[in-house]
A and B are shown apart, each in its own frame.
Chain A
Amino acid sequence: MKSFLDEEHSVEAIVPESDLPKFPQNFSSYWSAEVALLNRNGELIGLWQRGQATDDPERAKQIEGASAEKFELLYDTLASCDLPEIAEGARLVPLRLDMDVAGAVALIPLDGKSIEGEGADLLGTTMESLLYAHYRSMLASEMQVASTEQSYADLEAQNLELRQAYQRLQTLDRLKSDFVANVNHELRTPLTAILGFTELLQLDEDELNEDQTEAIEQIHRKATHLLKLVSKVLVFTETNDERPNLKFSEFDPRELVTSVIEYHKPYADERNIKIRTAGFDADVSKMEADRKKLEAVLDGLIDNAVKFSPDGANVIVMIEATQSSDVVDNAFLAMAESGPSEILIHVTDQGPGFTKDQINEIFTDFHQLDTSSTREHDGLGLGLALAKRVAEQHGGRIMVDSAPGEGAHFVISLPITPPPELRHAPKKKVVIAEESDFIFELVGGFLRDQGYEVISAVDGADARRIALSQPVDLLIMDLRLPDQEGIAFLEELRREQMARSLPIVVVTGIDDEDLHDRAFDQGVVDVLVKPFTREILLECIREPLQTEWEDV
Chain B
Amino acid sequence: MAEFNHARKEITFKLVYYGPALSGKTTNLQMIHEGAQQKSTGDLMTLNTEGDRTLFFDMLPVRMKTESGFSIRLKLFTVPGQVQHNSTRKIVLRGVDGIVFVADSSAAVSKQNAESFDNLRKNLKEIGRSLAEIPLVVQFNKRDLPDAVPEDMIQKSWGASGIPTTMAVAMKGEGVTETFEALAEQLYDSLDQKYEFARKFNLTRQDFLTAMHANFAPAGGDSESSEARGG
Question: Which A residues form the contact surface with B (CB < 8 A)?
Answer: 276, 278-279, 281-283, 314, 316, 318, 320-326, 328-329, 331, 334-336, 339-340, 344, 346, 348, 350, 399-401, 403, 406-407, 409, 411
Interface CB pairs A-B, < 8 A, 23: A278-B43, A279-B75, A320-B95, A322-B95, A324-B94, A325-B127, A325-B128, A326-B128, A328-B128, A331-B195, A336-B5, A340-B1, A340-B3, A340-B95, A344-B91, A346-B56, A348-B47, A350-B55, A401-B87, A401-B91, A403-B85, A406-B49, A409-B57
Per-residue contact bits, chain B 110-140, to A (CB 8 Å; 1 contact, 0 not): 0000000000000000011100000000000
Bound CA span A411–B43, Å: 21
Q: Determine if B61 is an interface residue (Cβ-Cβ < 8 Å).
A: yes
User: Which of A318, A325, A407 is in CB contact (< 8 Å) with B55?
Assistant: A407
Residue of chain A at shortest CB distance from B200: A336
- Cβ of B59 within 8 Å of any chain A Cβ, yes or no, is yes
Complex Cα–Cα for A259 and B198 (A): 41
Contact B5 A328 (CB under 8 A): no
A316 to B127 CA separation, bound complex (whole angstroms): 24
Is B42's CB within 8 Å of the partner chain A? yes
A283 touching B1 by the CB < 8 A rule?
Answer: no
Contacts of A400 in B (CB 8 A): 87
Measured CA separation A318–B129 after assembly (Å): 23
Q: Judge whether B59 and A278 touch: CB under 8 Å.
A: yes
Are B61 and A279 in contact (CB-based, < 8 A)? Answer: yes
Known: A282-B75, A322-B14, A407-B47. 18 other contacts (CB 8 A): A276-B45, A278-B42, A283-B3, A283-B5, A316-B47, A320-B95, A322-B94, A322-B95, A325-B127, A325-B129, A326-B128, A340-B3, A399-B87, A401-B86, A401-B91, A406-B85, A409-B91, A411-B91
Chain B residues in 8 Å Cβ range of A278: 42-43, 45, 59, 61
Q: Which residues of the other chain, A, contact B84 by a CB distance below 8 angstroms? A: 403
Q: Is the interface of B mostly helix, strand, loop or mixed?
A: mixed
B194 within 8 A of A: yes
- 8 A-B pairs with the lowest CB-CB distances in the bound complex, closest first: A322-B95, A336-B4, A409-B56, A401-B88, A401-B87, A325-B127, A323-B1, A325-B128
Q: Which residues of B have CB within 8 Å of A326?
A: 128
- Whether a CB of chain A sits under 8 angstroms from the CB of B39 is no
User: Smallest CB–CB gap between B54 and chain A, Å?
Assistant: 10
Which chain B residues in 186-217 approach chain A with CB under 8 Å? 194-195, 200
Assess whether A401 is in contact with B95, with CB atoms less than 8 Å apart. no
Task: Please report the C-alpha to C-alpha distance between residue A407 and residue B49 in the assembled complex, in whole angstroms.
Answer: 9
Specify the chain B residue showing the minimal Cβ separation from A318.
B59
Instruction: Give the residue name and chain of the B residue nearest to A334 (CB).
Output: B1
CA gap between A314 and B84 in the complex, in Å = 21
* A16 vs B127: C-alpha distance when bound (angstroms): 64
Instruction: Report the minimum CB–CB distance from A403 to chain B (whole Å).
Output: 5
Q: Given A336-B4, A340-B3, A348-B47 in contact, is the A401-B75 Cβ separation under 8 Å?
A: no
Docked Cα-Cα span, A403 to B12, in Å, equals 32
Interface residues on B, range: 35 or more
Nearest-Cβ distance from residue A268 to partner chain B, whole angstroms: 15
B156 interface residue per 8 A CB criterion: no
**Interface: B73 (CB within 8 A):** yes
Closest Cβ neighbor of A350 among chain B residues: B47
Q: What is the minimal beta-carbon distance from B96 to any residue of chain A, in angstroms? A: 9
Complex Cα distance A282/B55, Å?
A: 23
- What's the Cα separation between A323 and B73 when bound, in Å? 17
* Contact, CB under 8 Å: A321 / B3: yes
Q: Compute how far the CA of A406 lies from the CA of B61 in the bound complex, rounded to whole angstroms.
A: 24
B 39-69 binary contact with A (CB < 8 Å = 1; else 0):
0001101010100000111010101000000
Supposing A279-B59, A407-B56 touch, asked if A316 and B88 sit within 8 A by C-beta, the answer is no
Q: Which of A278, A334, A348 has most chain B Cβ within 10 Å? A: A278
Measured CB to CB, the closest approach of chain A to B202, in angstroms, equals 14
- CB of B194 within 8 A of CB of A331, answer yes
> Are B61 and A281 interface neighbours, CB within 8 A?
yes
How distant is the Cα of A401 from the Cα of B86 in the complex, in angstroms? 8
- Hey, what's the 0/1 contact readout for B1-22 against A, CB within 8 Å counting as 1? 1011110001010100000000
How many Å lie between the Cα of A325 and that of B82 in the bound state? 24
CA distance A253 to B82 in the complex (A): 31
Q: Which residue of A lies closest to B83 (CB)?
A: A403
Q: Tell me, in angstroms, the Cα distance from A473 to B131 when the chains sit together.
A: 51
Interchain nearest-CB distance for A408 vs B (Å): 9
The residue in chain A whose Cβ has the minimal distance to the Cβ of B130 is A329
CA distance A346 to B88 in the complex (A): 10
Q: Are B45 and A282 in contact (CB under 8 A)?
A: no
A314 to B195, CA, bound (A): 39
Closest to B53 in A: A406
Which residues of chain B are within 8 angstroms of A399 by Cβ–Cβ distance? Answer: 87, 91
CB-CB under 8 A from B73, the residues of chain A are: 281-282
Q: Which of A334, A336, A348, A401 has the most CB of B within 10 A?
A: A401
Complex Cα distance, B57 from A167, in Å, reads: 48
A364 to B85, CA, bound (A): 22
List, in ascending order, chain A residues with CB within 8 A of B86's CB. Answer: 401
Q: With A323-B1, A325-B129, A401-B87 as known contacts, state yes or no: A336 contacts B6, CB within 8 Å.
A: yes
Residues in B neighbouring A331, C-beta threshold 8 A: 194-195
Residues on A with C-beta less than 8 A from B6 are: 336
Closest to B6 in A: A336
**Beta-carbon nearest neighbor of B4 in chain A:** A336
With A and B bound together, what is the CA distance between A346 and B10 in angstroms? 24
Which residues of the other chain, A, contact B5 by a CB distance below 8 angstroms?
283, 336
A502 CB to closest chain B CB, in angstroms?
45
Contact B12 A282 (CB under 8 A): yes
| Complex Cα spacing A324 to B86, Å | 18
Q: Which chain B residue shows the least CB distance to A317?
A: B45
A residues within 8 A CB of B1? 322-323, 328, 334, 340
How many angstroms between the C-alpha atoms of A329 and B1 in the bound complex?
A: 11
Check if A323 sits within 8 Å of B85, measured CB to CB: no
Residues B47 and A314 in contact, CB atoms below 8 Å apart: yes
Residues from chain A with a CB closer than 8 A to the CB of B49 are 406
> In the complex, which residues of chain B have a beta carbon less than 8 angstroms from the beta carbon of A335?
4, 195
| A38–B14 CA distance with the chains assembled, in angstroms | 92
The answer on a CB contact under 8 Å between B55 and A406 is yes
List residues of chain A with CB within 8 A of the CB of B194. 331
Residue of A nearest to B128 (CB): A325
Q: B95 — nearest CB in chain A belongs to which residue?
A: A322
Q: Evaluate contact between B3 and A339: CB separation under 8 angstroms.
A: yes
Contacts of B57 in A (CB 8 A): 346, 348, 409
Contacts of B56 in A (CB 8 A): 346, 348, 401, 407, 409
| Nearest B residue to A359, CB-CB | B87
Complex CA gap A276/B85 in Å reads 21
* Nearest-CB residue, chain B, relative to A326: B128
What B residues does A348 contact at CB under 8 A? Answer: 47, 55-57
**Does A344 contact B12, Cβ atoms closer than 8 Å?**
no
B135 to chain A, nearest CB (A): 14
Q: How far is the CB of A467 from chain B (nearest CB, A)?
A: 43
